[in-house]
């Protein structure tokens, strides 16, 4: 009888950023191909590809920085928490029409 295969670990649910980056890379490759197929110049398609790649890299950097910051930060102190008018000590003003 063969040895039982251990179950594979579940895929982490908190990886939507990597999915976004994968789709962005796919778009960076697909858009120039479509532009060339529709008759655009090779230079124009290359410029679009470079622009999309730059935006993808910038977004990836920002997503990683945001994820890293979210895991490292403590909750903000009470003095920095958002407080709107509904949390103030002022009485609620009712407008009747």
Rg, the chain, Cα only: 25
Name the burial class of residue 32, with classes exposed (0-12), middle (13-18) and buried (19+) by CB atoms within 10 angstroms of its CB: buried
The model carries a pTM of 0.56
**Local confidence pLDDT in tens for the 97 residues of the chain:** 566 666 655 545 556 778 888 888 899 899 999 999 999 999 999 999 999 999 999 988 998 888 888 777 666 565 555 555 555 566 667 777 7
């Amino acid at each position: 009888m063969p040895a039982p295969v251990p179950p594979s670990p579940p895929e982490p649910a908190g990886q939507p950023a990597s999915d976004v980056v994968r789709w962005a890379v796919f778009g960076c490759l697909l858009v120039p191909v479509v532009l060339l197929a529709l008759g655009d110049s090779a230079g124009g398609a290359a410029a679009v590809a470079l622009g999309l790649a730059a935006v993808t890299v910038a977004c990836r950097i920002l997503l990683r920085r945001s994820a890293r910051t979210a895991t490292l930060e403590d909750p903000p102190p009470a003095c920095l928490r958002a407080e709107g008018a509904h949390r103030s000590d002022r009485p609620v003003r009712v407008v009747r029409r």
